[in-house]
Structure 1
Amino acid sequence: MTGSEANTQAGEYVSLRVERTGHVAEVTLIGPGKGNAMGPDFWRELPLVFGELDRDPEVRAIVLTGEGKHFSYGLDLAAMLPSWSEYLSGDALARPRREFLDEVRRMQDAVTAVARVRKPVVAAVAGWCIGGGLDLIAAADVRVASADAKFSVREVRVAIVADMGSLQRLASVVGEGHLRELAFTGKDIDAARAERIGLVNDVYPDRDATLEAARQMAADIAANPPLVVQGVKDVLSVNTEQQVDAGLRYVATWNAAFLPSHDLNEAVQAFLQRREPEFRGE
């Protein structure tokens, strides 16, 4: 048994910290990658944490945040790439493609655990929220941000179709036009723009004020009848769950078939060499 597996079984996690105050649980991304980047520990532990919170009758609302200056830089490429080398070579046959499809579905299920937890989730975002970070907050019920927050559906800039849920969940949050702009360009937007398009409900001066507002909102939720609150979430979700699931299955299959490319390898090399990529459409 590895050290991280032992910690997980003991209720202590490598990538997440869980604290409870009354009926509110607070889940904090803690890395270990720079900027709370999402590596193997995160993808393994996220569904375990939210499954535990879902089953805990004392938890009525959840705050989701990141430690330090940034919510999350998104996928930890350096940590994840070694396990994907066979598939990303471009010569992969059916077996590694199937294995990669299973890996994508497993990671999707981890984010979906946040969307499907019966207790409302309030995301408090400071600093950068990129790629997988945006997928994660898209699965939350409510989002608030600090004035320095920046958001990006960054995957297109590294030759990947975003496949962890932002393309499926954000249209109902920000509208189809805004989502398409963000997904096609990979551009960064600030907290003011995020508030205008409805990505976040409110913007606060700094991280501390944002976290306090999220905690207060969670406390207000937790003060209401818990089964009724859970029923409201269930009713609100029923019209979108099947559509989101179908979209996730489709993009997982699409990426398993088409993700390996010259452009993806070029994006990876450019990232590692800290230079601008030169895409050829191949």
Structure 2
Amino acid sequence: MTENLVSLKVDVADHIAEVTLLGPGKGNAMGPDFWRELPLVFGELDADPEVRAVVLTGSGPHFSYGLDLPAMMSSWGGLLGADSLAGPRTDFLTQIRGLQDSVTSIAACRKPVIAAVSGWCIGGGVDVIAAADIRIASADAKFSVREVKVAIVADLGSLQRLSGIIGEGHLRELALTGKNIDAARAQRIGLVNDVHDDQAAVLAAARELAAEIAANPPLVVQGTKDVLGQERDRRVADGLRYVAAWNAAFLPSKDLGEAVQAFLERRPPEFKGA
């Protein structure tokens, strides 16, 4: 399977898998190939007895610009129409749940996952690293729970997982403003454990941490991850079901259409609350 990947690259050596985001969109933007391949990769890593830890990183200077909005919009069909009825909304609900399952495959992988972040980590990128076990960053890393700025309620896990990582107050500030934060602030609020000088340094640190984990008894490591996730996983699952239903019902809006049009025209959107 991993020989035919388009959006991800997987290398395995010394019990450590390194998964690299490839794009193909600019800034490793997450399009249909990414969402299709991510659960396949992490399902395979979960089942591979030779893999004991995973490093997740991005190719090029950035981790990910997040959702490839133009590429994904084509699969949303006529959802933006004000008269979209039960059929297209049900189809959209199915799509949301599929994307959620893709991200959850990271959290569900029994092998600990370390996210090594450089450059921008936006929207879907934050969803992905929130599903990892440990996050570290380079000094140039920047993070944004950006969905509110494009008239979307974040629905792939950030709102559910980050509360246990950075706390409610910080999460609400990031999610309600869509602001950018730098690596120093990300470390202060607990989004990342450590900050390293540059991309090479953070990747080296992630590999070293993965090796430290891989040196421990593998079944005990997996059991520890399972126990740590017991309460969180139930809470996250409930939250994901709720937000998927909410967005299937309320996401179609003139503001969403304006956000998409403004993005394509490279101009500030003008939201009307409609």
TM-score range with shorter-chain normalisation? Answer: over 0.9
Aligned with 2:236 (options 213, 236, 244):
244
Amino acid at match of 1:201: N
Aligned with 1:220 (options 192, 212, 217):
212
Whether the 8 Å CA contact 2:2–2:9 is kept in 1: the answer is: no
Q: Counterpart in 1 of 2:202? A: 210
Identity %: 71
Distance 2:242 2:165 in 1: 21
Whether the 8 Å CA contact 2:2–2:10 is kept in 1: the answer is: no
Q: Counterpart in 2 of 1:56? A: 48
Q: CA deviation at 1:10?
A: 6.4
1:136-175 correspondence runs (5 A): 136-175=128-167
Gaps of 5+ in 1: 1-8
| Partner secondary structure for residue 41 of structure 1 | helix
Distance 2:30 2:80 in 1: 19
Whether the 8 Å CA contact 2:148–2:178 is kept in 1: the answer is: yes
1:224 to 1:10, Cα distance in 2 relative to 1, 3 A? closer
| Partner secondary structure for residue 198 of structure 1 | coil
1:10 to 1:144, Cα distance in 2 relative to 1, 3 A? closer
| Partner secondary structure for residue 75 of structure 1 | coil
Q: Counterpart in 2 of 1:87? A: 79
Distance 2:13 2:177 in 1: 41
| Partner secondary structure for residue 11 of structure 2 | strand
Q: Counterpart in 1 of 2:245? A: 253
Q: CA deviation at 1:69?
A: 0.3
Aligned with 1:45 (options 37, 44, 59):
37
Q: CA deviation at 1:90?
A: 2.6
Amino acid at match of 2:260: V
Whether the 8 Å CA contact 2:80–2:254 is kept in 1: the answer is: no
Amino acid at match of 2:232: T
Distance 2:2 2:272 in 1: 49
| Partner secondary structure for residue 103 of structure 2 | helix
Amino acid at match of 1:153: V
> What is the number of equivalent residue pairs in this alignment?
274
Q: CA deviation at 1:11?
A: 3.1
Q: Counterpart in 1 of 2:185? A: 193
Distance 1:247 1:181 in 2: 19
CA-atom RMSD, angstroms?
0.7
Q: Counterpart in 2 of 1:6? A: none
Amino acid at match of 2:154: A
Task: Pick which of 86-95 and 64-73 moved more.
Answer: 86-95
Deviations 1:213-268 (A, max 9, x none): 00000000000000000010001000111110000000000000000111111111
Amino acid at match of 1:267: A
Deviations 1:183-227 (A, max 9, x none): 000000000000000000000000000000000000000000000
Q: CA deviation at 1:87?
A: 1.3
TM-score (norm 1): 0.96
Gaps of 5+ in 2: none
- Whether 1:184 and 2:158 are equivalent positions in the alignment is no
Distance 2:183 2:29 in 1: 20
| Partner secondary structure for residue 248 of structure 2 | helix
Runs of 4+ in 1 over 4 A off after TM superposition: none
Distance 2:270 2:129 in 1: 31
- Whether 1:101 and 2:93 are equivalent positions in the alignment is yes
Amino acid at match of 1:134: V
| Partner secondary structure for residue 190 of structure 2 | coil
Amino acid at match of 1:244: V
Amino acid at match of 2:111: K
Deviations 1:79-128 (A, max 9, x none): 11111131122321101100000000000000000001000000000000
Amino acid at match of 2:131: A
Distance 1:74 1:192 in 2: 21
Amino acid at match of 2:89: R
Distance 1:262 1:94 in 2: 18
Q: Counterpart in 2 of 1:267? A: 259
